[in-house]
Amino acid sequence: MRKRSSRRASSVSEVKREFLQARYDGVIEKLYALTDFKWALGLNRLSLRLMGVWPGDDEAEGLGRLAILLRVPFMIAAMFFCLFLPQMGALALVIHELPLVIDNLMTSCAAFTCCIKLYFVWRSKQVLRPVIQSVSADWLRPKLDWEREAMIREASRARIFTVSGYAVLAGCYTGFAFAPLFGFDIRMISNITDYGEKHLLVQSYFPYDYSKSPNYEITQVSQLIAGFFIGMSVSVPDNYFGALLFHASAQFEILGANLENLVRQDDKALRSRQFNRRFGIFVDRHVHLMTMVTAVEYSFSFVIMAQIFCMSIMVCSLGFQILGMIEGTTADKPSLLQVLTLLGTLFTLMMHTLVDCFACETLELRVERRDIRERLQQQVVHGAEAERGEGRDTDDGRVEKSAETHGREDFHPVAGDLL
């Protein structure tokens, strides 16, 4: 009896040990997955939370929720009333001086574009909430090693673009804020909108004398803050868009690899119910990914359109400035620093547009796996014809039953989206 009880106790202890080990392994795996998720989207989440447009921050209560709700309107108001509207007033004064108009457009156009971008990202916060939940679920679910490697590879690309974008943003803002302090004018100074020895960061018109203290200090600080908001609005939405599309690209790559493994099976396996079940799961996964991509496209279509419009104006302004340096008179020639400033702004916009285009092209390459699609379609059609041929040899009742079962199992209701 003692031996039996000792054996039972040892077996129970082994079961407990295995159970605890399994739970420990599961917890460790979840911790690693959470670390990967923070590594992939940590920078984007931090910047989006600073701007108040992260989809997961709506659950806050009290003053925290009020601060999140008012953050984006405050940023848009600062960019509009501290930079864009004063520049429009200055534009009305210098409308007959083309070099001054070009100098005005190089900053006012960017300010207006950032207001549009930030508004549409803020408006689409609830639309992107399921997308963020899907991304977090993809990172936290159990994965094979090759699946994790594919996700890490695409996340690394998005992270490189994010870090480089923030570095360019820091350099541009540093030059914008501190160059005037050392006597370098990054814009054209005129006696139409500028009076006194104190000049503002951008060409502006205010209905008060800003050259006196403390009006000058308050106006200067407000334009510095609005300029920082513009830099964030230029960089953060594009990095966010690229990170979501690169993640979707990795998921389509994983789905394509699973489908490729599925169509490599023999004909007998293709006619089995296991194939029908797995095929239905893959179709559901494809529809889910397409829904997420559609939500991202809906949220960022106007953002990208506004950025391309602004970039077109910047290209025209840069061309005019370069022609002015070559053929203009000494009085009308822009300085080299002004041309370099415009060139740096244009480079920043083009780099972020490149991120958007590169992410879209990568996603298209992952989605358009025509070889897998054609092979899968042929295998499904051949399997269906084989089952119909077998069904004709049976009685009429079994033929009808086989046809009904075949219609339910072999062809998924939304399989047309995949094929």
H or E segment at 134? helix 129-140
Q: What is the DSSP letter of 333?
A: P
pLDDT for 179 beyond 60? yes
What's the pLDDT at 153?
A: 92
Q: Greater confidence, 140 or 268?
A: 140
**Percentage, residues of the chain above pLDDT 70:** 73
Task: Read off the pLDDT band of 410 (50, 70, 90).
Answer: very low
pLDDT, tens digit (0-9, with 9 covering 90-100), for 298-317: 888 888 888 888 878 877 87
Q: How far, CA to CA in Å, does 377 sit from each of 146, 225, 373, 383, 403? A: 26, 57, 6, 10, 19
Task: Read off the pLDDT band of 9 (50, 70, 90).
Answer: low
pLDDT, tens digit (0-9, with 9 covering 90-100), for 12-48: 566 455 545 555 455 677 777 888 888 888 899 999 9
**Percentage, residues of the chain above pLDDT 90:** 13
**pTM across the whole model:** 0.77
- Angle separating helix axes 370-392 and 215-263, nearest 10 degrees: 40
What's the pLDDT at 200?
A: 85
Task: Read off the pLDDT band of 416 (50, 70, 90).
Answer: very low
3-state secondary structure of 190: coil
Structure-block tokens of residue 399: 């033929």
pLDDT for 191 beyond 90? no
pLDDT, tens digit (0-9, with 9 covering 90-100), for 110-162: 899 899 999 999 988 888 999 999 999 999 888 888 999 999 999 998 899 88
pLDDT for 398 beyond 60? no
Beta-carbon contacts of residue 156 (< 8 Å; ≥ 6 apart): none
One-letter identity of residue 273: R
Of the ranges 72-86, 319-333, 350-364, 402-416, which one carries the lowest mean pLDDT score? 402-416
